[in-house]
């Protein structure tokens, strides 16, 4: 038997260390130490009800355990074999749950797009087939008309996972309706949001799923050529895709007369140089054609005139990864997961000041609170939650009041952010919201292709204004100017990059107006993170004149005689914080 005690930060803070000790003592009292082993584990993610003790092999899940409870657990459960009812998880509705397999919490994550990620060897087509791989393609070719495939995707309600949320089935339908001698299927693997890496992980962990889905899409839309546009800075994903394409050709899953049907399909790779704007489908197509990666006006949509002027269907990696499952399990199965208008699941790259950073996949409609505090294990170091940034440079910051918003495409738009490709950056009390907006805008300025003026010039000017605010040099009317610019840029830019570039600024201004005002009126950064608004000072009463700070200062900004009070020359100070670390007498402070 094993007793697993949670050793995550949250549970440790509620004395899981002493629970472990105490359990070991109790076991010794009953001479069970050789039969029952106590183990500290990583975070269970269920911090709200910590500390957690789980008993194996029966999966009994004890919540809110205190060191005083250990006697009862050992004497009742281990000696007499009776569960300690009062420590079992109390479900919000209904009674206590006897083991973790029956807890709703463990249904919070469900893996559809990531179903094989971390499960199979990505370089082996055999393992993919052992997990029902290529069955969807076989079924589609043998038993379904192209029309039926499209209908099934439409009924499933699958929406584009790259950010826009356009219904995938509808897109396929447009491409299939346009007659042409040649059509194309394109996979958009130009993942560019800072911090998002779900597409890369799918390609690295389960490349065959994407190949299979592209072939299915080819069959449905009448295309026999597939292209994957992937950034050259994803060498491992490229390597595994190449292996996968080779294997699929050998098995006859790509090539001519697939499954002995008249359907031919082959896939090639196209490398991008890593420009954010090339995630926009028209820019992506131009880049594949060898032109400059610049967007063009839609219509015509790629479904009418795409790659080389032929009808082209462009979907993102994660969207494709869902397709084989929908064919295998049916549209009904898929549409039951998630919410009415956003079906299925979404993969998020959880990052920032949260304990369990990583890749998670949750049904649509899961709340931000569940994602951050239960799956993510709460804020690092026990600090206070401030905001969560979703949607990358096109999205916005959501605050405490939005925590209970169910995540889906429409809800996020309604509260001023967006789904985007699924980056989720958690911010705590030490993060300055003006700096966050500035960070994302810096990214947009860098990535703007320069074709249209509002985006090229406007974002740059906006960035300069934000910089002045963080330096404490802005005036009140600059805030008004900033606000106006946001609206002009959003209204007049050509493509999604420019149209959504002001979102981080708009949403932080809306939700954290006071922080902007503090920077402008008081020249103060409430989070204490803007270097230019910070001053290191020496408290004369505490300073003993040990010279430790003066010796550490890299620019010689601290002067003072031995055993005399020291002083910092603010003009020389570069705010590196070395003096603060060096001082043993708490005589250096930040103002």
Q: Give the footprint of another protein on residues 332-371 (CB under 8 A).
A: 333, 355-361
Minimum distance of another protein from residue 37's CB (angstroms): 6
Q: Which of residues 365-424 bind another protein (CB under 8 A)?
A: 375
**In degrees to the nearest 10, what's the CA dihedral of 577, 583, 585, 588?**
-30
Q: Which stretch binds another protein (CB under 8 A): 21-29, 111-119, 457-465, 563-571?
A: 111-119
Q: Which stretch binds another protein (CB under 8 A): 37-45, 83-91, 278-286, 549-557?
A: 37-45
Closer to another protein by Cβ: residue 313 or 389: 389
Distance, CA of 371 to CA of 79 (rounded, Å): 38
Site mask, another protein, residues 179-218, x = CB under 8 A? ------------------x--xxx-xxx------------
Burial label, 461 (beta-carbon count in 10 A; 0-12, 13-18, 19+): middle
HSE-up of residue 104 (Cα within 13 Å, Cβ side): 10
CB of 50 closer than 8 Å to CB of 6: yes
Q: Which of residues 217-236 bind another protein (CB under 8 A)?
A: 234, 236
Contacts for 22-25: CB closer than 8 Å, 24+ residues apart: 22/67, 22/70, 23/53, 23/70, 23/73, 23/74, 25/70
Minimum distance of another protein from residue 354's CB (angstroms): 9
Minimum distance of another protein from residue 129's CB (angstroms): 5
Closer to another protein by Cβ: residue 118 or 382: 118
Closer to another protein by Cβ: residue 250 or 289: 250
Closer to another protein by Cβ: residue 105 or 219: 105
Minimum distance of another protein from residue 112's CB (angstroms): 6
By CB under 8 A, residue 108 contacts another protein = yes
Q: Which of residues 252-271 bind another protein (CB under 8 A)?
A: 252-253, 259-260
CB count, 10 Å around CB of 58?
15
The H-assigned helical ranges of 363-452 are 368-369, 409-414, 433-447
In Å, what is the CA distance from 110 to each residue of 174, 360, 362?
31, 9, 6
In Å, what is the CA distance from 536 to each residue of 64, 72, 540?
43, 54, 13
Minimum distance of another protein from residue 122's CB (angstroms): 5
Beta bridge partners of 349: 359, 423
Q: Which of 11, 73, 117, 186 binds another protein (CB under 8 A)?
A: 117
Sequence-distant (≥ 6) Cβ neighbours of residue 28 within 8 angstroms: none
Q: Which stretch binds another protein (CB under 8 A): 39-47, 87-95, 144-152, 569-577?
A: 39-47
What are residue 90's phi and psi, to 5 degrees?
A: -95, 110
By CB under 8 A, residue 243 contacts another protein = no
Closer to another protein by Cβ: residue 108 or 310: 108
Q: Which of residues 126-145 bind another protein (CB under 8 A)?
A: 126-127, 129-130, 132, 134-135, 138-139, 142
Closer to another protein by Cβ: residue 328 or 564: 328
Q: Which of 10, 51, 122, 365 binds another protein (CB under 8 A)?
A: 122
Query: How many residues of this chain bind another protein (CB under 8 A)?
Result: 71
What are residue 347's phi and psi, to 5 degrees?
A: -90, 135
Distance, CA of 362 to CA of 346 (rounded, Å): 6
Query: Does the CA dihedral 31-34-40-44 come out positive or negative?
Result: negative
Q: Which of residues 296-325 bind another protein (CB under 8 A)?
A: 325
HSE-up of residue 557 (Cα within 13 Å, Cβ side): 19
Q: Which stretch binds another protein (CB under 8 A): 64-72, 124-132, 381-389, 578-586?
A: 124-132
Closer to another protein by Cβ: residue 37 or 492: 37
Closer to another protein by Cβ: residue 114 or 158: 114
């Amino acid at each position: 038997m094993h007793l697993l005690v949670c050793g995550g930060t949250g549970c440790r803070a509620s004395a899981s260390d002493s629970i472990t000790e105490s359990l070991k003592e109790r076991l010794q009292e009953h001479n069970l130490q050789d039969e029952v082993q106590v183990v500290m584990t990583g975070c269970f993610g269920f911090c709200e009800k910590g500390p957690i003790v789980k008993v194996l092999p029966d999966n009994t899940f004890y919540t809110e355990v205190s060191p005083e409870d250990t006697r009862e657990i050992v004497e009742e459960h281990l000696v007499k074999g009776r569960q300690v009812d009062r420590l079992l998880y109390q479900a919000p509705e209904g009674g206590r749950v006897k083991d973790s397999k029956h807890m709703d919490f463990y249904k919070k994550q469900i893996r559809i797009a990531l179903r094989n990620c971390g499960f199979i060897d990505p370089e082996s087509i055999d393992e993919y087939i052992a997990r029902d791989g290529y069955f969807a393609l076989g079924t589609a070719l043998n038993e379904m008309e192209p029309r039926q495939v499209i209908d099934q995707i439409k009924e499933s309600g699958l929406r584009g996972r790259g950010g826009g949320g356009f219904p995938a089935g509808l897109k396929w339908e447009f491409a299939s309706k346009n007659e042409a001698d040649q059509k194309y299927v394109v996979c958009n693997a130009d993942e560019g949001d800072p911090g998002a890496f779900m597409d890369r992980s799918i390609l690295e962990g389960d490349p065959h799923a994407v190949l299979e889905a592209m072939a299915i899409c080819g069959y449905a839309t009448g295309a026999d050529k597939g292209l994957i546009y992937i950034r050259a800075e994803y060498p491992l994903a490229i390597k595994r895709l190449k292996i996968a394409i080779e294997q699929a050709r050998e098995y006859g899953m790509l090539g001519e007369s697939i499954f002995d049907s008249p359907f031919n399909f082959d896939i090639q790779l196209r490398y991008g140089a890593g420009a954010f704007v090339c995630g926009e489908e028209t820019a992506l197509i131009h880049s594949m054609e060898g032109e400059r990666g610049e967007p063009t006006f839609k219509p015509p949509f790629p479904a009418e005139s795409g790659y080389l002027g032929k009808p082209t269907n462009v979907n993102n990696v994660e969207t494709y990864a869902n397709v084989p499952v929908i064919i295998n399990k049916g549209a009904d199965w898929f549409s039951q997961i998630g919410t009415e208008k956003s079906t299925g699941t979404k993969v998020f790259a959880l990052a920032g000041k949260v304990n369990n950073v990583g890749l998670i996949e949750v049904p649509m409609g899961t709340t931000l609170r569940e994602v951050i505090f239960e799956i993510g294990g709460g804020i690092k170091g026990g600090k206070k939650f401030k905001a969560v940034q979703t949607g990358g440079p096109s999205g916005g910051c959501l605050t405490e009041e939005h925590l209970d918003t169910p995540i889906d495409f429409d809800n996020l738009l309604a509260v001023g952010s967006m789904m985007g490709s699924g980056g989720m950056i958690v911010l705590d009390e030490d993060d300055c919201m003006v700096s966050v907006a500035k960070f994302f805008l810096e990214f947009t300025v860098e990535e703007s292709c320069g074709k249209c003026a509002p985006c090229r010039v406007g974002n740059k000017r906006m960035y300069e204004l934000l910089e002045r605010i963080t330096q404490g040099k802005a005036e009140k009317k600059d805030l008004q100017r900033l606000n106006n610019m946001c609206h002009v840029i959003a209204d007049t830019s050509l493509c999604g990059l420019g149209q959504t570039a002001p979102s981080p600024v708009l949403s932080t201004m809306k939700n954290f107006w006071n922080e902007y005002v503090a920077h402008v009126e008081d020249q103060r950064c409430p989070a204490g993170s803007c270097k230019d608004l910070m001053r290191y000072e020496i408290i004369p009463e505490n300073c003993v004149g040990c010279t430790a700070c003066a010796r550490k200062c890299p620019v010689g900004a601290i002067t003072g005689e031995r055993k005399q009070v020291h002083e910092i020359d603010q003009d020389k100070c570069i705010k590196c914080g070395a003096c603060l670390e060096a001082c043993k007498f708490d005589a250096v402070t930040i103002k």
